Amino acid sequence: MLTNYFKIAFRNLIRHKVFSGINIVGLAIGIAACLLILQYVDFELSYDRFHTKADRIYRVKQDRYDKGKLSTQWAGGAQAAGNSFKANFPEVEDYVKVLKNRAMIADYGEKSLKVEKVFTASESFFKIFSYPLLAGDPKTVLAEPNTVVLSESVAKKLFGNEQAVGKSIKLNQRKDVKVVGIYKDMPANTHLHADLLIPHLTFIKDMGPDNNPDNAWMWDGAMSYLLLRPDANPTALEAKFVPYIEKTIGAELRKYDAGAVYKLQPLRDIHLYSHFMEEAEPNGDGNTVYLLLGIAFFIVIIAWVNYINLATARAINRAKEVGIRKTVGSQRGQLIRQFLIESVLLNGLAVLLALVFVAAVMPLFNSLSGQQLTLSLLGSGSFWLALGVLFVIGTFFSGLYPAFVLSGFRPITVLKGKMVTSRQGVVLRKSLVVFQFAASLFLLVGTLAVFRQIQFMRGQSLGLDIDQTLVVNPPIIRTDSTFMRQMLAFKDELLRQPSIRSISASSVVPGQASDWNAGTIRMKGADPSKGTQYRVIAVDYDFLKTFNLKLVAGRDFSKEYGLEKKAVIFNKMAIKQLGFNNPAEAIGKEIDFWGDYFTIVGVTDNFHQQSLRDAYEPLILRLIPDAGGYFSIKMASKEANSTIATVRSEWDRFFPGNPFEYFFLDEHFDAQYKADQRFGQVFGLFTGLAILVACLGLFGLASFTTAQRTKEIGIRKVLGATVPEIVQMLYKEFAALILIACVVATPLAWYAVSQWLNTYAFRAEVQWWLFVLPFALVLLIALLTVSFQSVKAALMNPVTSLRSE
């Protein structure tokens, strides 16, 4: 009997090629899209889950308060947090402290290598985290100062096939350190990627006995991870932090009307839900991940809806088959099984085609999403589990309703030819079409909103000039006694070149957050509790001129006034925070900056130091010409290659041993929107697929509806109806459904878009055309879809139409 079911199912698929093809292709696209997104989501959710103790590892997040208001949130908080919590709370089994360092130059013999990702870590790093050590003891490998632990790839580059452990390397041409361990390169799905680890004891030794960071509660920048005991309650432990902080530094904080709150972040949540100061690296976005997961199910549900629509629409054509089968003794359960077998066959073919689609579009999806998924996922159990779940759910739910409808026909009714389409069936099909296009319109509005917001941010004035600006990374190796002289000579030499207009050195450049967060800054003589927090950028004399920053009061830094190390320039936001509504009133006033006094000599207009996702920050520009930061070189011509060659030549001359690395500032600034652009591209791709699948179903439904009304079309033509009138008659019903879909989707899309835009400090307005344009586009696509069959039927000879009945 099972063989017979499959044979009949296969014959039905062959007999109705168009409907079968539409169903199979639609389902295949839906399943392929769902599988791709599920792989993306699975990878994002897998971050840091490979650690064997992951469920007990928490990072200490720090919230700083200023005058009762939340001012900054830190992933890297107070230096003293980790060791203090371990010493005072029995719930903490162990801790590890991790600090991010700048890139370093590692030399071994004749080989020199720039190591980008350098971290300082305390000795429990390999005991708490499950990063495999290839050489060295996890208990002692970070227990001695002046040693290092290298990643496998860095060790390979420096030592080749030599044994690395026990050898010495030189860091930044200053310090000799011994290699005591090698660890396997950290996997992609971890929030922390290190190429070189320095023992925390080295950091303590370098700071000296009078400046031990392990006792510092006002010195931020350390990521502290706690390993809790198996029976520990994280929420209860968090509550204990409050009285401990009050007892330890409460009095000190109250002097400045400040506060600090410490919370525990589960390790597994860091990648998707942590976007704070001093993160180890940029993290993902949990909202985006789950939104894409929702889109995946939207698409596959739309494909299943196609199957239900077409199967129930064709019910009249199969009514006589059901009547005959029931007459010769078939039971309803047998008929249900037969139609479910058809669903199994069709979904099975769709799954096979979906695998072909996945293999074909994998490179495109990787380029859009920024991930590197490969066909090795075919060996993943989670992939086959997801595929199996999709197959079972799709087969059951898409086949169940049509099976019950078809098996429920009464033989005596259908064999007498009195079978008519039920009102309930028509309403269901129309409701499903409305759902399909409401979902498609919702996604299309979202796609347009994403791209419009990106264009809005990229098109706004930044308040500074970043065009034709070449930026050279800071020198890593420098001699403090001669650096200022080297830097000035380097700038003077380049300014002699006609292709260069100006040069400035600064601790950060536009597009980067300043890592200098200075609290308790106040007017000279003011009460300490009046102090507030600012972001500080170290600059030289040419910063304002190079970036064409607009002064709204006062003057620029100038060598005419001597070495202005006690002069600062504020932006308008910083002046307002200081208590001045008129920038001119602040000129000449002195501020207390950590016990030292500085004079405000100028106020700039607000400018975007970072992307327009962030609000204007209160910024202080502090004159530190020898800070050793980035060199921003404003080019006078567009002949970039010759200018770069000139800069490289002078760089090698004045900063020997330092790698020459550069970027163009406009591209660097735009890179802040890369995640948004990728999200928009992925969103747009799957929105297009959703519309395609919905239109496939509409094409099939239009084909069936047109075939059912062949006789009516013939009669209308005999009575004088024109081709446009017939097409209009056939299209009007579908247009009404799309209009209803628009009414349903518009308020939902408006709410979703408004909520998403609220995450941006500077955002585009939600305008009416954002909803009208998608509606018009979908209406046009639907018209073209329906018109193909409608025009074909309208052009048919009425004699043929009437004879066909």
What is the per-residue DSSP string for 341-358?
A: HHHHHHHHHHHHHHHHHH
Residues 6+ apart with CB under 8 A from 708: 316
Q: Are residues 569 and 618 in the same domain?
A: yes
Residue 535 β-bridge partners: 517, 619
Q: Which residues share a beta bridge with 58? A: 226, 266
- Are 610 and 645 found together in one domain? yes
- Residue 425, pLDDT > 70, answer no
Q: For residue 426, is it within any domain?
A: no
Judgement on whether residues 494 and 630 belong to the same structural domain of the protein: yes
The count of other CB atoms within 10 Å of the CB of residue 373 is 18
Residues 199 and 296 both lie in one domain: no
The span from the CA of 437 to the CA of 743, in Å, is 11
Structure tokens at 586: 């602040």
Residues 408, 512, single domain; the answer is no
- Rounded CA gap, 541 and 251, in Å? 40
Closest CA to 281 of 384, 192, 190, 216: 192
Residue 399 one-letter amino acid: G
Within-domain flag for 446: no
Torsion sign (Cα): 11, 14, 19, 21: positive
Other Cβ atoms less than 10 A from the Cβ of 371: the count is: 15
What does the pLDDT read at residue 2? 61
75-84, 386-395, 597-606, 660-669: the lowest-pLDDT one? 386-395
CB-based contact 520:680 (threshold 8 Å):
no
Per-residue pLDDT tens for 79-120?
999 999 999 999 999 999 999 999 999 999 989 999 999 999
Regarding predicted confidence, which is higher, 34 or 623?
Answer: 623
pLDDT of residue 394 exceeding 80, the answer is: no
Residue 718 has pLDDT above 90, yes or no: no
**CB-based contacts of 659, cutoff 8 Å, min separation 6:** 105, 114, 473, 476
Domain boundary among 601, 627, 660: 660
Q: How many structural domains compose the chain?
A: 4
The pLDDT tens digits for 426-467 are 677 778 788 888 888 998 998 899 999 999 998 899 999 999
What's the CA gap between 342 and 314, in Å, rounded? 14
Q: Is residue 513 part of a domain?
A: yes
Q: For 457-469, what is the HEC assignment?
A: HHHCCCCCCCCCE
Which of 135, 585, 352 lies closest to 570 in space, CA to CA? 585
Do 504 and 569 lie in one domain? The reply is: yes
**Looking at the structure, do residues 107 and 145 belong to the same domain, yes or no?**
yes
The predicted structure's pLDDT at residue 360: 87
User: Considering 608, 639, 660, which residue would you say is the last residue of a domain?
Assistant: 660
Helix (H, G, I), strand (E, B) or coil at 516: coil
For tokens 């929030």, the residue is: 191
Element (H or E) spanning 663, and its range?
A: strand 662-664
Q: How far apart are CA 237 and CA 253, in angstroms?
A: 22
User: Looking at the domain assignment, is residue 264 inside a domain?
Assistant: yes
Tell me how far the alpha carbon of residue 575 is from its chain's centroid: 34
Query: Is residue 677 a part of any domain in this protein?
Result: yes
Helix 423-459 vs helix 674-708: crossing angle, to nearest 10: 150
Q: What is the mean pLDDT of the chain?
A: 86
Alpha helix positions (H), 635-673: 640-654, 665-670
Q: Pairing between strand 175-183 and 133-135?
A: antiparallel
d(CA 546, CA 548): 6
| Cα maximum dimension of the chain | 108
* 89 and 145 fall within a common domain: yes
CA torsion sign for 409, 410, 411, 412 is negative
Bigger pLDDT: 166 vs 319: 166
Mean pLDDT of 465-476: 94
Residue 622 banded pLDDT, cuts 50, 70, 90: very high
pLDDT score of 589 more than 60: yes
| Residue 427 lies inside a defined structural domain of this protein | no
- Pairwise CA distance, residues 148 & 167, whole Å: 10
| Span 610-614, average pLDDT | 91
Question: Both 40 and 78 in a single domain?
Answer: no
DSSP 256: T
Residue 420 predicted with pLDDT over 50: no
Domain co-membership, 195 together with 266: yes
Residue 434 counted as domain residue? no
CA–CA gap between residue 627 and residue 638 (Å, rounded): 29
Q: Coil, strand, or helix at residue 711? A: helix
Find out whether 549 and 604 touch, Cβ atoms under 8 Å: yes
Does 740 share its domain with 605?
no
Query: Could you tell me the two tokens for 104?
Result: 């370093």
Name every residue whose Cβ is closer than 8 Å to that of residue 288 and which is 6 or more positions away in sequence: 679
Q: In the chain, pLDDT over 70 holds for what percent of residues?
A: 87
Residue 411 lies in a domain: yes
Structural domain span for residue 715: 452-458+670-805
Backbone Cα Rg of the chain: 34
Domain boundary among 420, 441, 466: 420
For residue 83, give every residue at least 6 positions away whose Cβ sits within 8 Å of its Cβ, in sequence order, or none. Answer: 95, 97, 214
**How far apart (Å, rounded) are the C-alpha atoms in residues 56 and 131?**
16
Same domain, 369 and 226: no
The pairs formed by 206-213 with CB atoms below 8 angstroms and a separation of 24 or more are 213/79, 213/80
